[in-house]
Amino acid sequence: MFSRYKIKRDEIGLVFKDGQFEKIIRQGTHWFFNLFRNLVVERVSLRNPIFMHRQLRDIVKSECIKGLGEVLDLRDWQRALVWIDGRFSQILPSGLFVIWTELAEVRVEVMDARQVRFEHEELQVISRTSSVEQLNVVAVERDHAGVLFLDGQYDSTLAPGRYAFWRKMAEVFVAPVDLREQAIDVNGQDLMTADKVTLRLNAIVTYRVADPKLVIRSSDNVHQALYRATQLALRGIVGQHELDEFLDDKQQLADKAVSSLRERASELGLTIIGVGVRDVILPGDMKELMNKVIEARKAAEANLISRREETAAMRSQANTAKLLDAHPTLMRLRELEVLEKVAQSSNLQVVLGDKEGLSNRLGGLV
């Protein structure tokens, strides 16, 4: 006929009769007349601060929990941050909750989720907690920018860092954009010069993002768009120059390509840093012809240099002859030098005279 219930110090008992809430009982031993077994007592631990129950609204209306906890009735656009004993615990969605304050120091912050973006001085702590299913956390990496769209509309450009947004309040999309210098390899371009020579060109384009918002909105793939623009620019520039002119000054082609691409890159939100020509590949027959031309040119240059040296040598001999003719003593010294060289390599008898030339007084060779 009687039911006995013992409630511990850190518990309360919820008394239900015929399935309806009646009252709360505190610590101690309680006896109830329960002849028809229609009375039930549910034990609730006060060590679990967040309390939810199927009949919570009836429990709250009874005002039995005054002094035991704080009642939170959050609307559809409200969320609550719960701090227990100075540490972040969880985020509560819209709905009715009771937070027990009997055994713990509880702090609650009610926030308006209609702002979509969650901003808080303790964002780094909150966003790294496992119980933040109410938030959509996004990280923008170093040397990147994040282009934020809410419900398909551009909102802002985010710097590197960690950001959070309330779930189910708006469709959130953050597009990452790399701000570092990047390069595009334009390989194997078959181009025709002004003198109808076909060549294959390999080039490289370096660029950097100037406007992250424009990069996302201007094209679905700015890398590919800039690649196509570079192809067309190189084709147009090479077609305006003859092969020899192009081979003599490839840097001129690169400078013109930069000027040609600058406007298109600006439309894509990019800045062109430079264009470089890596390789120029000629067809096999054209390569042989160019080798022959270069060989003939080098042979002509070698012949010209040889003739120039011969002319210089003859001019030097003529000047020497004039000098010896004008100064007989120098001629005599020159004869002595010749005799000295001959004497070093053979036996020689020489008779020298004072009045006649050395050649007329030469005795003979042994």
pLDDT band at 69 (very low <50, low <70, confident <90, very high): confident
Alpha carbons 28 and 5: distance in angstroms, whole number = 8
In the predicted model, what is the mean pLDDT of residues 285-298?
62
Beta-carbon contacts of residue 282 (< 8 Å; ≥ 6 apart): 197, 199, 200, 290
**Residue of higher predicted confidence among 172 and 350:** 172
pLDDT band at 294 (very low <50, low <70, confident <90, very high): low
- pTM greater than the 0.85 cutoff: no
C-alpha distances in Å from residue 19, one per residue of 64, 152, 314:
17, 49, 131
Give the distance, in angstroms, between the CA of residue 30 and the centroid of all CA atoms in the same chain. 70
Domain 182-282 has CATH 3.30.479.30: yes
SS3 213: helix
In the predicted model, what is the mean pLDDT of residues 309-329?
78
Positive or negative: CA dihedral 217, 218, 219, 222: negative
Question: pLDDT tens, 212-239?
Answer: 999 999 988 999 999 999 988 888 888 8
pLDDT band at 74 (very low <50, low <70, confident <90, very high): very high
Question: In what order do the strands lie in the sheet containing 78-84?
Answer: 87-92, 78-84, 106-112
Domains of the chain by residue range: 1-44, 46-104, 116-180, 182-282, 327-366
Question: pLDDT tens, 6-62?
Answer: 999 899 999 998 889 989 998 899 888 877 788 899 999 988 889 988 999 999 998
